[in-house]
Homo-oligomer: A and B are copies of this chain.
């Protein structure tokens, strides 16, 4: 059996309670006793049993992250892992451990109830893809400390943190206007793609403000992949009036777009400016290097980690905000030389 608090107490000629207080910095203990106890702990190589501790204080110092994993998640959704890394860093700073569990939206309710009742974790971080109205009710009724990553697309009582994609769209449009581009196009994902939709909203609001009209033909939607980006660009180029800059709703679309422009020998940035969102995975390998509106997802994870810890302290706190602001990384693809 390994060394227990009683062994330490005995060796330090004191009681278990005192040792406990020394470890936790609670109560008031004389410096002499503190030194003696700490000395003995070191000598004996004592490490408090975490299981007994969790049990006694009724807390595990654990945050559970629930999301949908499964095959290819690492490749298709690197952002999620970036967020996770940020969360881990934040909670680790306060001595918490991050656990991860893959779950579907259907199983989520039952599982969350079990986890909470069984007290396996002190707080829950839920990816927006696993939440549902039923889960909202459960979490509210049971007052479960939680944060949802992503603003849920239904009315709810959840606390959430999200990225302000609308603002991202605004920044993209403003940047292009500032660079001297005057006729913008937007290549978006499918209509169900809320991220793409919010980015478009932001773009339109800026154009509206500047009284810039965007022709219907310059607004195109499709899949979020290279081929679609290529095809939508081809369509764009068939129009009588060409735009002088294009905003691609994501990396993959941008890749296809640049390929198409290259084939048509349209020079970037002189004849056509190109801007997109996020650094990864493709922005940096394209020539010319693309200007992007980037958001620091690691930081978003870090904020999430901090938030869930404060929710554990103050359970009636409601958190709802866009934690991390997007910013423009200017590169070659929008350096128009204004005559």
Q: How far is the CA of A119 from the CA of B55 in the complex (A)?
A: 13
**Which among A45, A50, A297 has the highest number of chain B CB atoms within 10 Å?**
A50
Indicate with 1 or 0, residue by residue over A9-27, a CB within 8 angstroms of chain B CB atoms. 0000000000000000000
- A132 at interface, CB cutoff 8 A: no
Interface size on A, residues (CB 8 A): 57
From B2, B54, B69, B97, contact of A101 by CB (8 A): B97
- Chain A, range 85-113, C-beta contacts under 8 Å to B: 85-86, 88-89, 92, 97-102, 113
A92 near B102: Cβ-Cβ < 8 Å: yes
Binds B, one of A71-79, A269-277, A308-316: A71-79
Least CB distance from A57 to B in Å reads: 9
Residue of B nearest to A89 (CB): B102
Cα–Cα, bound, A325→B101 (Å): 27
- Chain B: which residue is nearest A113 at the CB level? B47
Q: Which of B49, B51, B78 is in CB contact (< 8 Å) with A81?
A: B78
What B residues does A158 contact at CB under 8 A?
A: none
For residue A248, give the distance in angstroms from its CB to the closest CB of chain B. Answer: 14
Chain A 179-223 near chain B by CB (<8 Å), digits 1 or 0: 000000000000000000000000000000000000000000000
CB of A281 closer than 8 Å to a CB of B: yes
Q: In the complex the two chains form, what is the Cα distance from A269 to B71 in whole Å?
A: 31
Task: Please tell me if A36 contacts chain B, counting CB pairs below 8 Å.
Answer: no
Q: Closest residue to A48 on the B side, CB-wise?
A: B118
